[in-house]
Structure 1
Protein backbone atom coordinates (compact mmCIF):
# COMPACT_ATOMS: atom_id res chain seq x y z
CA UNK A 1 0.00 0.00 0.00
CA UNK A 2 1.29 3.47 -0.77
CA UNK A 3 1.72 5.95 2.05
CA UNK A 4 0.28 9.44 2.40
CA UNK A 5 3.56 11.14 1.45
CA UNK A 6 3.80 9.26 -1.85
CA UNK A 7 0.13 9.93 -2.59
CA UNK A 8 0.54 13.59 -1.69
CA UNK A 9 3.44 13.95 -4.12
CA UNK A 10 1.24 12.47 -6.86
CA UNK A 11 -1.68 14.76 -6.07
CA UNK A 12 0.68 17.75 -5.84
CA UNK A 13 1.90 17.15 -9.39
CA UNK A 14 -1.69 17.49 -10.56
CA UNK A 15 -1.80 21.15 -9.48
CA UNK A 16 1.53 22.12 -11.04
CA UNK A 17 3.01 25.54 -10.43
CA UNK A 18 -0.10 26.86 -8.69
CA UNK A 19 0.28 24.41 -5.80
CA UNK A 20 -0.55 25.86 -2.37
CA UNK A 21 2.74 26.30 -0.46
CA UNK A 22 1.96 24.07 2.58
CA UNK A 23 1.08 21.19 0.25
CA UNK A 24 4.30 21.70 -1.69
CA UNK A 25 6.31 21.66 1.53
CA UNK A 26 4.60 18.51 2.81
CA UNK A 27 4.90 16.71 -0.53
CA UNK A 28 8.58 17.59 -0.90
CA UNK A 29 9.59 16.61 2.59
CA UNK A 30 11.02 13.19 3.09
CA UNK A 31 13.17 10.98 5.27
CA UNK A 32 16.78 12.04 5.46
CA UNK A 33 15.92 15.68 4.75
CA UNK A 34 15.71 18.50 7.22
CA UNK A 35 11.92 18.61 6.91
CA UNK A 36 10.09 16.19 9.23
CA UNK A 37 7.73 13.46 8.10
CA UNK A 38 3.99 14.20 8.31
CA UNK A 39 2.92 12.90 11.68
CA UNK A 40 -0.40 11.18 12.07
CA UNK A 41 -1.19 12.97 15.33
CA UNK A 42 -3.28 16.04 15.92
CA UNK A 43 -2.14 19.46 14.71
CA UNK A 44 0.47 21.15 16.88
CA UNK A 45 -1.80 24.21 17.32
CA UNK A 46 -5.46 24.96 16.73
CA UNK A 47 -5.79 27.11 13.63
CA UNK A 48 -9.55 27.61 13.49
CA UNK A 49 -12.11 28.97 15.88
CA UNK A 50 -15.07 26.62 16.43
CA UNK A 51 -17.16 28.64 13.94
CA UNK A 52 -14.38 28.61 11.32
CA UNK A 53 -13.87 24.87 11.79
CA UNK A 54 -17.61 24.22 11.41
CA UNK A 55 -17.73 26.30 8.21
CA UNK A 56 -14.57 24.65 6.85
CA UNK A 57 -16.03 21.20 7.56
CA UNK A 58 -19.35 21.99 5.88
CA UNK A 59 -17.69 23.58 2.85
CA UNK A 60 -15.22 20.72 2.40
CA UNK A 61 -18.22 18.40 2.29
CA UNK A 62 -19.65 20.50 -0.54
CA UNK A 63 -16.40 20.20 -2.53
CA UNK A 64 -16.38 16.37 -2.18
CA UNK A 65 -19.81 15.26 -0.94
CA UNK A 66 -20.84 11.76 -0.01
CA UNK A 67 -22.22 9.94 -3.05
CA UNK A 68 -21.83 6.23 -3.70
CA UNK A 69 -18.45 6.63 -1.98
CA UNK A 70 -17.70 8.42 1.31
CA UNK A 71 -17.16 12.16 1.14
CA UNK A 72 -14.62 14.60 2.56
CA UNK A 73 -15.82 14.41 6.15
CA UNK A 74 -15.65 10.61 6.29
CA UNK A 75 -12.16 10.77 4.79
CA UNK A 76 -10.96 13.10 7.58
CA UNK A 77 -10.38 16.08 5.30
CA UNK A 78 -11.17 18.73 7.98
CA UNK A 79 -8.48 17.24 10.25
CA UNK A 80 -6.05 17.10 7.31
CA UNK A 81 -6.67 20.77 6.48
CA UNK A 82 -6.08 21.86 10.06
CA UNK A 83 -2.93 19.69 10.23
CA UNK A 84 -1.56 21.21 7.01
CA UNK A 85 -2.24 24.75 8.17
CA UNK A 86 -0.91 24.15 11.69
CA UNK A 87 2.24 22.19 10.89
CA UNK A 88 3.14 22.96 7.27
CA UNK A 89 1.93 26.53 6.71
CA UNK A 90 3.60 29.77 7.59
CA UNK A 91 1.36 32.34 9.29
CA UNK A 92 1.03 34.12 5.94
CA UNK A 93 -0.15 30.93 4.24
CA UNK A 94 -3.07 30.70 6.67
CA UNK A 95 -4.36 34.22 5.94
CA UNK A 96 -6.35 33.50 2.73
CA UNK A 97 -8.05 30.45 4.24
CA UNK A 98 -9.01 32.12 7.52
CA UNK A 99 -10.02 35.38 5.81
CA UNK A 100 -12.05 33.41 3.28
CA UNK A 101 -13.89 31.45 5.95
CA UNK A 102 -14.64 34.67 7.84
CA UNK A 103 -15.90 36.36 4.65
CA UNK A 104 -18.09 33.38 3.78
CA UNK A 105 -19.44 33.31 7.34
CA UNK A 106 -20.27 37.03 7.20
CA UNK A 107 -21.95 36.67 3.79
CA UNK A 108 -23.97 33.69 4.99
CA UNK A 109 -25.20 35.63 8.01
CA UNK A 110 -26.03 38.64 5.82
CA UNK A 111 -27.78 36.74 3.00
CA UNK A 112 -29.31 33.76 4.81
CA UNK A 113 -29.35 34.70 8.49
CA UNK A 114 -27.58 31.48 9.51
CA UNK A 115 -23.93 30.49 9.97
CA UNK A 116 -22.33 28.94 6.88
CA UNK A 117 -22.18 25.54 8.59
CA UNK A 118 -25.97 25.58 9.08
CA UNK A 119 -26.82 26.91 5.62
CA UNK A 120 -28.50 24.56 3.16
CA UNK A 121 -26.40 22.71 0.60
CA UNK A 122 -27.63 25.08 -2.13
CA UNK A 123 -26.71 28.11 -0.03
CA UNK A 124 -23.26 26.68 0.72
CA UNK A 125 -22.77 26.03 -3.00
CA UNK A 126 -23.74 29.63 -3.72
CA UNK A 127 -21.24 30.88 -1.12
CA UNK A 128 -18.46 28.73 -2.60
CA UNK A 129 -19.36 29.96 -6.08
CA UNK A 130 -19.04 33.57 -4.92
CA UNK A 131 -15.60 32.76 -3.48
CA UNK A 132 -14.57 30.85 -6.61
CA UNK A 133 -15.58 33.76 -8.85
CA UNK A 134 -13.79 36.23 -6.56
CA UNK A 135 -17.03 38.05 -5.80
CA UNK A 136 -16.17 38.21 -2.10
CA UNK A 137 -13.31 40.73 -1.96
CA UNK A 138 -12.15 39.55 1.48
CA UNK A 139 -12.01 35.96 0.17
CA UNK A 140 -10.29 36.59 -3.14
CA UNK A 141 -7.40 34.21 -2.37
CA UNK A 142 -9.49 31.56 -0.61
CA UNK A 143 -11.04 29.20 -3.12
CA UNK A 144 -8.07 27.69 -4.98
CA UNK A 145 -5.95 26.90 -1.88
CA UNK A 146 -9.04 25.54 -0.11
CA UNK A 147 -9.97 23.36 -3.07
CA UNK A 148 -6.42 22.02 -3.27
CA UNK A 149 -6.42 21.19 0.44
CA UNK A 150 -9.73 19.34 0.16
CA UNK A 151 -8.69 17.35 -2.91
CA UNK A 152 -5.25 16.52 -1.50
CA UNK A 153 -6.73 15.52 1.86
CA UNK A 154 -9.32 13.31 0.24
CA UNK A 155 -7.18 11.54 -2.32
CA UNK A 156 -4.35 10.87 0.13
CA UNK A 157 -6.68 9.39 2.75
CA UNK A 158 -7.32 5.69 3.06
CA UNK A 159 -10.86 6.22 1.79
CA UNK A 160 -9.68 8.18 -1.22
CA UNK A 161 -7.00 5.65 -2.10
CA UNK A 162 -9.03 2.49 -1.57
CA UNK A 163 -12.72 3.30 -2.00
CA UNK A 164 -12.83 6.20 -4.46
CA UNK A 165 -9.94 4.84 -6.46
CA UNK A 166 -8.95 1.23 -6.67
CA UNK A 167 -5.40 0.38 -5.68
CA UNK A 168 -3.70 -2.21 -7.88
CA UNK A 169 -0.08 -2.77 -6.88
CA UNK A 170 0.45 -4.78 -10.08
CA UNK A 171 -1.69 -3.73 -13.05
CA UNK A 172 -3.78 -6.42 -14.70
CA UNK A 173 -3.67 -7.41 -18.31
CA UNK A 174 -3.82 -4.89 -21.13
CA UNK A 175 -7.02 -4.85 -23.15
CA UNK A 176 -6.92 -2.27 -25.95
CA UNK A 177 -10.60 -2.81 -26.74
CA UNK A 178 -11.94 -2.23 -23.21
CA UNK A 179 -15.08 -0.12 -23.48
CA UNK A 180 -15.11 3.14 -21.54
CA UNK A 181 -18.66 2.37 -20.42
CA UNK A 182 -17.25 -0.57 -18.42
CA UNK A 183 -14.92 1.63 -16.36
CA UNK A 184 -16.05 1.69 -12.73
CA UNK A 185 -13.17 3.33 -10.89
CA UNK A 186 -9.97 5.20 -11.59
CA UNK A 187 -6.96 3.12 -10.65
CA UNK A 188 -3.99 4.30 -8.63
CA UNK A 189 -0.64 2.65 -8.18
Structure 2
Protein backbone atom coordinates (compact mmCIF):
# COMPACT_ATOMS: atom_id res chain seq x y z
CA UNK A 1 0.00 0.00 0.00
CA UNK A 2 1.42 3.41 -0.96
CA UNK A 3 0.52 6.40 1.19
CA UNK A 4 0.45 9.76 -0.58
CA UNK A 5 2.07 12.04 1.99
CA UNK A 6 1.22 15.18 0.02
CA UNK A 7 -2.50 14.33 -0.01
CA UNK A 8 -2.36 13.60 3.72
CA UNK A 9 -0.53 16.90 4.26
CA UNK A 10 -3.39 18.85 2.73
CA UNK A 11 -5.86 17.17 5.06
CA UNK A 12 -3.77 17.66 8.19
CA UNK A 13 -3.20 21.36 7.49
CA UNK A 14 -6.93 21.99 7.67
CA UNK A 15 -6.61 21.37 11.41
CA UNK A 16 -4.44 24.45 11.88
CA UNK A 17 -6.79 26.96 10.26
CA UNK A 18 -5.32 30.24 9.07
CA UNK A 19 -2.14 30.16 11.15
CA UNK A 20 -0.26 27.48 9.23
CA UNK A 21 3.55 27.60 9.41
CA UNK A 22 4.66 28.95 6.01
CA UNK A 23 6.80 25.98 4.83
CA UNK A 24 3.89 23.61 5.50
CA UNK A 25 1.53 25.79 3.49
CA UNK A 26 3.99 25.97 0.60
CA UNK A 27 4.53 22.21 0.59
CA UNK A 28 0.78 21.56 0.46
CA UNK A 29 0.31 23.87 -2.54
CA UNK A 30 3.01 22.42 -4.78
CA UNK A 31 2.17 20.45 -7.89
CA UNK A 32 3.63 17.01 -8.57
CA UNK A 33 6.22 18.55 -10.93
CA UNK A 34 7.44 20.88 -8.15
CA UNK A 35 7.82 18.22 -5.46
CA UNK A 36 11.19 17.88 -3.81
CA UNK A 37 12.50 14.31 -4.12
CA UNK A 38 12.73 11.98 -1.17
CA UNK A 39 16.07 11.55 0.51
CA UNK A 40 18.21 13.51 2.91
CA UNK A 41 17.84 17.27 3.31
CA UNK A 42 19.65 19.39 0.74
CA UNK A 43 21.43 21.27 3.57
CA UNK A 44 21.97 20.61 7.26
CA UNK A 45 19.57 22.83 9.19
CA UNK A 46 20.39 21.81 12.74
CA UNK A 47 23.62 21.56 14.67
CA UNK A 48 24.08 18.13 16.32
CA UNK A 49 22.86 19.57 19.65
CA UNK A 50 19.81 21.19 18.03
CA UNK A 51 19.00 17.96 16.19
CA UNK A 52 19.18 15.97 19.43
CA UNK A 53 16.92 18.46 21.20
CA UNK A 54 14.45 18.63 18.32
CA UNK A 55 14.29 14.81 18.32
CA UNK A 56 13.70 14.63 22.09
CA UNK A 57 11.03 17.33 22.00
CA UNK A 58 9.27 15.70 19.04
CA UNK A 59 8.80 12.61 21.16
CA UNK A 60 7.37 14.75 23.97
CA UNK A 61 4.74 16.19 21.62
CA UNK A 62 3.74 12.72 20.31
CA UNK A 63 5.20 10.11 22.66
CA UNK A 64 5.28 6.37 22.18
CA UNK A 65 2.25 4.83 23.87
CA UNK A 66 0.34 1.83 22.56
CA UNK A 67 1.27 3.20 19.12
CA UNK A 68 4.70 4.35 17.92
CA UNK A 69 5.67 7.94 18.67
CA UNK A 70 7.21 10.76 16.68
CA UNK A 71 10.71 9.29 16.50
CA UNK A 72 9.52 5.94 15.15
CA UNK A 73 7.40 7.78 12.56
CA UNK A 74 10.47 9.64 11.28
CA UNK A 75 9.25 13.06 12.38
CA UNK A 76 12.73 14.49 13.12
CA UNK A 77 13.88 13.63 9.58
CA UNK A 78 10.66 15.10 8.15
CA UNK A 79 11.19 18.36 10.06
CA UNK A 80 14.77 18.76 8.90
CA UNK A 81 13.87 17.90 5.30
CA UNK A 82 10.97 20.35 5.33
CA UNK A 83 13.05 23.15 6.83
CA UNK A 84 15.94 22.48 4.44
CA UNK A 85 13.94 22.17 1.25
CA UNK A 86 10.65 24.04 1.75
CA UNK A 87 11.58 26.80 4.19
CA UNK A 88 13.32 30.05 3.52
CA UNK A 89 16.17 31.02 5.85
CA UNK A 90 13.81 33.42 7.66
CA UNK A 91 11.25 30.62 8.15
CA UNK A 92 13.90 28.65 10.07
CA UNK A 93 14.64 31.48 12.51
CA UNK A 94 11.84 30.83 15.06
CA UNK A 95 12.64 27.11 15.20
CA UNK A 96 16.40 27.53 15.58
CA UNK A 97 16.06 30.44 18.03
CA UNK A 98 13.48 28.51 20.04
CA UNK A 99 15.69 25.43 20.32
CA UNK A 100 18.61 27.61 21.42
CA UNK A 101 16.43 29.41 23.98
CA UNK A 102 15.17 26.12 25.39
CA UNK A 103 18.71 24.81 25.63
CA UNK A 104 19.82 27.93 27.52
CA UNK A 105 16.81 27.72 29.83
CA UNK A 106 17.47 24.04 30.55
CA UNK A 107 21.08 24.81 31.43
CA UNK A 108 19.92 27.67 33.66
CA UNK A 109 17.04 25.86 35.40
CA UNK A 110 18.12 22.21 35.37
CA UNK A 111 21.90 22.36 34.85
CA UNK A 112 21.61 19.77 32.08
CA UNK A 113 21.43 19.75 28.29
CA UNK A 114 17.77 19.94 27.27
CA UNK A 115 17.91 16.71 25.25
CA UNK A 116 19.24 14.92 28.36
CA UNK A 117 16.64 16.47 30.70
CA UNK A 118 13.93 14.27 32.19
CA UNK A 119 10.63 14.03 30.33
CA UNK A 120 9.04 16.18 33.03
CA UNK A 121 11.73 18.86 32.59
CA UNK A 122 11.28 18.76 28.81
CA UNK A 123 7.52 19.12 29.25
CA UNK A 124 8.14 22.14 31.50
CA UNK A 125 10.37 23.68 28.83
CA UNK A 126 7.72 23.16 26.14
CA UNK A 127 5.07 24.62 28.46
CA UNK A 128 7.30 27.62 29.04
CA UNK A 129 7.57 28.14 25.29
CA UNK A 130 3.83 27.62 24.78
CA UNK A 131 3.06 30.28 27.38
CA UNK A 132 5.55 32.78 25.95
CA UNK A 133 8.01 32.39 28.82
CA UNK A 134 10.82 33.70 26.63
CA UNK A 135 10.90 36.01 23.60
CA UNK A 136 9.60 34.15 20.56
CA UNK A 137 8.46 31.20 22.67
CA UNK A 138 4.87 31.15 21.44
CA UNK A 139 5.95 31.48 17.80
CA UNK A 140 8.44 28.63 18.23
CA UNK A 141 5.96 26.39 20.01
CA UNK A 142 3.17 26.83 17.47
CA UNK A 143 5.46 26.23 14.48
CA UNK A 144 7.20 23.28 16.15
CA UNK A 145 3.91 21.69 17.21
CA UNK A 146 2.58 22.01 13.66
CA UNK A 147 5.72 20.42 12.23
CA UNK A 148 5.53 17.47 14.62
CA UNK A 149 1.80 16.86 14.14
CA UNK A 150 2.06 17.18 10.37
CA UNK A 151 5.13 14.95 10.19
CA UNK A 152 3.44 12.30 12.31
CA UNK A 153 0.02 12.23 10.72
CA UNK A 154 1.40 12.24 7.18
CA UNK A 155 3.77 9.34 7.93
CA UNK A 156 2.89 5.72 7.24
CA UNK A 157 2.84 5.04 10.99
CA UNK A 158 0.51 7.96 11.67
CA UNK A 159 -1.85 7.00 8.89
CA UNK A 160 -1.90 3.23 9.34
CA UNK A 161 -1.19 2.59 13.03
CA UNK A 162 -2.39 5.65 14.92
CA UNK A 163 -5.40 5.95 12.68
CA UNK A 164 -7.14 3.15 10.89
CA UNK A 165 -6.51 3.26 7.16
CA UNK A 166 -9.48 2.40 4.97
CA UNK A 167 -8.90 3.39 1.36
CA UNK A 168 -12.60 2.88 0.72
CA UNK A 169 -14.60 3.08 3.95
CA UNK A 170 -17.30 0.43 4.22
CA UNK A 171 -21.00 0.93 3.94
CA UNK A 172 -22.79 3.84 5.53
CA UNK A 173 -24.44 2.98 8.80
CA UNK A 174 -26.11 5.99 10.41
CA UNK A 175 -26.97 3.99 13.52
CA UNK A 176 -23.46 2.65 14.22
CA UNK A 177 -23.00 2.60 18.03
CA UNK A 178 -20.34 5.11 19.10
CA UNK A 179 -19.12 2.69 21.76
CA UNK A 180 -17.90 0.40 18.98
CA UNK A 181 -15.68 3.05 17.35
CA UNK A 182 -12.07 1.95 17.87
CA UNK A 183 -10.04 4.55 15.97
CA UNK A 184 -10.56 7.61 13.87
CA UNK A 185 -10.46 6.69 10.20
CA UNK A 186 -8.24 8.31 7.60
CA UNK A 187 -8.48 7.90 3.88
- Shorter-chain TM-score: what band? over 0.9
User: CA–CA distance in 1 between the matches of 2:48 and 2:179?
Assistant: 44
Is 1:6 the counterpart of 2:7 in the alignment? yes
RMSD: 1.1
Structure 1 equivalent of residue 54 of structure 2? 56
User: CA–CA distance in 2 between the matches of 1:70 and 1:167?
Assistant: 16
- Cα offsets for 1:114-169 (capped at 9, x unmatched): 11111111100000000000111253420000000000000000101111111111
Structure 1 equivalent of residue 158 of structure 2? 160
Q: CA deviation at 1:80?
A: 0.4
* Mapping for residues 167-182 of structure 1, pairs under 5 Å: 167-182=165-180
Partner SS state of residue 17, structure 1: coil
Shift >3 Å, 4+ stretches = none
User: CA–CA distance in 1 between the matches of 2:136 and 2:19?
Assistant: 20
Question: TM-score of the superposition, structure 2-length normalised?
Answer: 0.96
| 2:52/2:115 contact within 8 Å kept | yes
Is 1:115 the counterpart of 2:110 in the alignment? no
Q: CA deviation at 1:2?
A: 3.7
Question: TM-score of the superposition, structure 1-length normalised?
Answer: 0.95
Q: CA deviation at 1:38?
A: 3.2
| 1:22/1:89 contact within 8 Å kept | yes
Q: CA deviation at 1:14?
A: 1.7
> Which stretches in structure 2 are left out of the alignment for 5+ residues?
none
| 1:100/1:138 contact within 8 Å kept | yes
> Which stretches in structure 1 are left out of the alignment for 5+ residues?
none
* Mapping for residues 15-164 of structure 1, pairs under 5 Å: 15-32=16-33, 36-164=34-162
| 1:104/1:127 contact within 8 Å kept | yes
